[in-house]
Structure 1
Amino acid sequence: MPVIIVAGPTASGKSALALDLAREFNGVIINADSMQVYRELRVLSARPDDAELSRAPHRLYGVLSGRQACSAGKWREMALAEIAACHAAGQLPIVTGGTGMYLNALTNGIAPIPDIDKSIREIITAELAALGHDAFFARLQKDDPATAATLDSANTQRLIRAAEVLRATGHGLAHWHGAAMLPPPNGMAFLKFCYMPPRDILYDRCNKRFDLMIKQGAIDEVKFLLSQTLPPESPVMKAVGVRELASYLAGELSLAEAKALAQRETRRYAKRQLTWFRHQMTDRETIDTQYSESLEGKLRNLVHQFLLTAPK
């Protein structure tokens, strides 16, 4: 069963390619971006606009509330259901996004970590606030040294995740990652395209994209988010641009300062994505040139050949 993957860092141009392939090959675009799953983040996550949505079917965009946490396991379950529906309807699934953890879970399998009740995360988050970051990390080092040794101590979300898994299951993340993996889907074949533009071009696109987001209503989107009184640890509150524009709305930054900080964070995020794809998605067809008519023809030929040989 064939599946196309169109990956790449933010602002790289992958969405346009996915849309062209969907129109050419009777495809359905399935989101693999961890922020685009949230309905409250249409502008700041650069979700497809109405014109793009009208050109091809799109799935898993804006399907979750910001009060929900979407893990790689949860996304994988939703994506597999959408892929199966595509195949049953005779359509080509085109999985598109820049969240490497999600794509890896789909193509290579995932550790079988049980679902964690939301109440446990709330307790762990309160403990972090009470103890302070350093003491919380020191406790994790004592309780689960194998996992703590693999973590960036500055990454609060990863620390909370490690602590909640340990609390809920009695085993740390290192234990679960060493367990037998849930395998990749049986019978699926993947053709992976990865957009990797030169860094200077990518950074310029990142800067221009955030300018466009401001014009499209990013400030009002953040105002609405703040009115929902979501927990600070909610993934939507960690999205690039939310914290910076919230500081502007609070009078702590000028709009120019908030925009410059958000653009810097977008560039840093894109750099991390480039690094991940370069080292983790090695079985890819790399696209590092401007999208053109000749490139479009080459990519279509690759898809045609893939569809002729992929198991049905």
Structure 2
Amino acid sequence: MGPTASGKTSVAMRLAAELPVDVVSVDSALVYRGMDIGTAKPDADMLAKVPHQLINICEPEETYSAGTFVQDAVAAIESIHAAGRIPLLAGGTMMYFRALTQGIAPLPAADANIRAALDAEAQLEGWPALHQQLAAVDADAAARIAESDSQRIQRALEVFRITGKPLSELQRETLQPARYNFIRVALMPPDRAILHQRIAERLDQMMDAGFLDEVRQLRTRPGLTADSTSMRSVGYRQLWAHLEGETDLPTAAERALFATRQLAKRQITWLRSEPVINCFDPLEAGAIDTILSVLRENLGE
């Protein structure tokens, strides 16, 4: 586990060269086909060398949820165990990790009509007004969701309108977690400034590699809109807005950078709340050897 740009893919590749592991991606954006540059998806050579499960498994028009991930991840883990190998889960979608290891609430699937209605309300009244709506029906959810977090406000109101029950109430009705022995390893750069620098450098590399053209191509797909779950991923949302004429490119890039830094901050907050976690500085000399030592000890090698 680790925040964006902390080097998870590189470490996973190194571990796969030393241990009998198969990689299972834990990333809510890598599941989508056609979203390669902006997700820092492992390239064809890397995937040929170390195959990853749960990458390129659905179209960007589809909705992929934490519940679906748990089902897919358990199936992948079982198939890897059946082959006599060890599953190595690697990614930065902390909600997916938590759903798998701690259980997940039985929430309803997305409803396109309700989401469209909420989007229309937000256009007229603004997301802070919808946040006030949420506070009236689910104070607990509203207390932990920022007024600017449109995606989570929409989901909480959507769940309430579908079920008639507050999201926070349903989340307390948690299904059982997967029954495996998880060895939690986190890559945690201690210097936030260095992480921010890595994020900025990676975004520059993405732009140089054709990230804008990738989003431009995605916009030609029928059925894909700015409100699609896939297009709410950081970077994609901001570049889509630029192509819609809402911002110039430098502004879009700056907003993408800010959103990515905020994502990293949220990921670090999640990690700090994880139980029994082994933290490593990925930039420290010899970090990979230390991680290997911890894993081998826990695996009984």
Q: 2:292 aligns with which of 269, 286, 300?
A: 300
**Structure 2 equivalent of residue 215 of structure 1:** 208
**Structure 1 equivalent of residue 184 of structure 2:** 192
Contact 2:30 2:55 in 1 (8 A): yes
Secondary structure (helix, strand or coil) at the match of 1:219 reads: helix
Superposed counterparts of 1:211-250, under 5 Å:
211-228=204-221, 230-250=224-244
Contact 2:128 2:148 in 1 (8 A): no
**Structure 2 equivalent of residue 92 of structure 1:** 86
Q: TM-score, normalised by structure 2?
A: 0.90
Over 3 Å counting, the alpha-carbon distance change for 1:136 and 1:300 in structure 2 is closer
**Structure 2 equivalent of residue 45 of structure 1:** 39
Over 3 Å counting, the alpha-carbon distance change for 1:202 and 1:231 in structure 2 is same
Q: 2:72 aligns with which of 75, 78, 82?
A: 78
Secondary structure (helix, strand or coil) at the match of 1:285 reads: strand
Q: Which amino acid aligns with 1:192?
A: R
Aligned pair 1:163/2:173, yes or no?
Answer: no
What is the alpha-carbon distance in structure 2 between the residues aligned to residue 82 and residue 259 of structure 1?
36
Over 3 Å counting, the alpha-carbon distance change for 1:145 and 1:268 in structure 2 is closer
Contact 1:157 1:233 in 2 (8 A): no
Aligned pair 1:108/2:102, yes or no?
Answer: yes
Q: TM-score, normalised by structure 1?
A: 0.87
Aligned pair 1:8/2:2, yes or no?
Answer: yes
Q: How far off is 1:40 after superposition?
A: 2.9
Over 3 Å counting, the alpha-carbon distance change for 1:25 and 1:269 in structure 2 is same
Over 3 Å counting, the alpha-carbon distance change for 1:254 and 1:138 in structure 2 is closer
Aligned pair 1:268/2:262, yes or no?
Answer: yes
**Structure 2 equivalent of residue 3 of structure 1:** none
Q: Greater CA deviation, 42-51 or 117-126?
A: 117-126
Q: Matched residue pairs, number?
A: 299
Contact 2:184 2:277 in 1 (8 A): yes
Q: How far off is 1:191 after superposition?
A: 0.9
Aligned pair 1:22/2:16, yes or no?
Answer: yes
Contact 1:116 1:168 in 2 (8 A): no
What is the alpha-carbon distance in structure 2 between the residues aligned to residue 200 and residue 225 of structure 1?
33
What is the alpha-carbon distance in structure 2 between the residues aligned to residue 44 and residue 128 of structure 1?
27
Q: Which amino acid aligns with 2:239?
A: L
Q: Which amino acid aligns with 2:62?
A: Q
What is the alpha-carbon distance in structure 1 between the residues aligned to residue 118 and residue 246 of structure 2?
29
Contact 1:76 1:102 in 2 (8 A): yes
Secondary structure (helix, strand or coil) at the match of 2:87 reads: strand
What is the alpha-carbon distance in structure 1 between the residues aligned to residue 142 and residue 111 of structure 2?
22
Q: How far off is 1:147 after superposition?
A: 3.5
Q: 1:182 aligns with which of 157, 168, 175?
A: 175
What is the alpha-carbon distance in structure 2 between the residues aligned to residue 36 and residue 106 of structure 1?
17
Gaps of 5+ in 1: 1-6
Contact 1:27 1:57 in 2 (8 A): no
**Structure 2 equivalent of residue 288 of structure 1:** 281
What is the alpha-carbon distance in structure 2 between the residues aligned to residue 258 and residue 154 of structure 1?
17
Q: How far off is 1:236 after superposition?
A: 2.2
Over 3 Å counting, the alpha-carbon distance change for 1:281 and 1:76 in structure 2 is same
Q: How far off is 1:189 after superposition?
A: 0.5
What is the alpha-carbon distance in structure 1 between the residues aligned to residue 257 and residue 246 of structure 2?
17
Over 3 Å counting, the alpha-carbon distance change for 1:151 and 1:81 in structure 2 is same
Q: How far off is 1:206 after superposition?
A: 0.6
What is the alpha-carbon distance in structure 2 between the residues aligned to residue 171 and residue 254 of structure 1?
41
Q: How far off is 1:78 after superposition?
A: 1.1
Q: Give RMSD over aligned pairs.
A: 2.3
Q: How far off is 1:251 after superposition?
A: 5.6
Q: Which amino acid aligns with 2:279?
A: T
Contact 2:200 2:257 in 1 (8 A): yes
Contact 2:226 2:237 in 1 (8 A): no
Over 3 Å counting, the alpha-carbon distance change for 1:246 and 1:140 in structure 2 is closer
Q: Which amino acid aligns with 2:281?
A: D
Q: How far off is 1:130 after superposition?
A: 5.2
Q: Greater CA deviation, 57-66 or 93-102?
A: 57-66
Gaps of 5+ in 2: none
Secondary structure (helix, strand or coil) at the match of 1:95 reads: strand
Q: Greater CA deviation, 248-257 or 14-23?
A: 248-257
Q: How far off is 1:199 after superposition?
A: 1.2
Over 3 Å counting, the alpha-carbon distance change for 1:297 and 1:148 in structure 2 is closer
Q: 1:258 aligns with which of 228, 252, 262?
A: 252
**Structure 2 equivalent of residue 4 of structure 1:** none
